[in-house]
Amino acid sequence: MDEEDETAAVEDVYDEIAASYAEGYWSDNPHQAELEFPATTDLIPTVSGERVLDAGCGSGVYTEWLLDRGATVVGVDLSEAMLEEARDLVGTRATLRLGDLSEGIPFAEDGEFDGVVCAQVLDHLPSLEAPFQEFARILEEGGFLVISVRHPLRNASEYEDWTYYETERQIEDWGVETPHYTRPLQSILNELVAAGFQLEHVSEPEPTETFREAAPKEYEQLSKRPQFLCLRARKR
């Protein structure tokens, strides 16, 4: 599948699931609400008065969190349906734009942003080189980048036929076939450094007692094996 078709496939998925994603995905899914989200937001530095890009903003959960902490936020997403959900959540408090991260961020000037948050988005992109380089371009010197992705160990346990050292396209069933890419840890880190970032903090979130109460069976599994990888880096 070429890149244009891949983009269309991901867009179709999120257009289809937008309403259910916004209504219940976060509140009803402890993997997000009690694991990925708190771990990722814990890495975000003080943003009051800062200009932050929510790259792949989806239904606006991170956008709202950043706004509530005093940031000026621009959100960009591939799916117009997801952007509609974000508009319902944050109204006119943020600027929301339609865009494909694999094609750059053409509306942003060099050094325009103090920070970028990109949560659970990069797994859908066949390459990290272009988005990391674009994040570096639009950040001022010393600006932060916080990302979260599927942990490579999770992928290794779920896809027995995956060659760990390769970036490979996989399909996950979310009620609709959802494409994403598995890649080794070295690929993520090396692309980050090559784009001009200095790695600052790594988090492999462990499930909390609140997670145990919400999903006791999964708690045991995730206490032994990480599901998410969260990183904070600074533009050099």
Cβ neighbors of 201 (< 8 A, separation 6 or more) are 43, 231, 232
Does the pTM surpass 0.85? The reply is yes
Are 202 and 231 in contact by the 8 Å Cβ rule? The answer is yes
Phi, psi of 220 (to 5 degrees): -60, -45
Residue 176 clears pLDDT 90, i.e. is over it? no
Q: Give the DSSP per-residue string, 170-198.
A: EEEESSSEEEEEE--HHHHHHHHHHTTEE
Residue 19 clears pLDDT 70, i.e. is over it? no
Q: Set out the domains of the chain in order of their start, with CATH numbers.
A: 3-235 (3.40.50.150)
Specify the range with the lowest mean pLDDT, choosing from 70-84, 149-163, 180-194.
Answer: 149-163
Q: Residue 23, Cβ neighbours under 10 Å: how many?
A: 12
Question: Considering the chain, what percentage of its residues have pLDDT values greater than 70?
Answer: 88
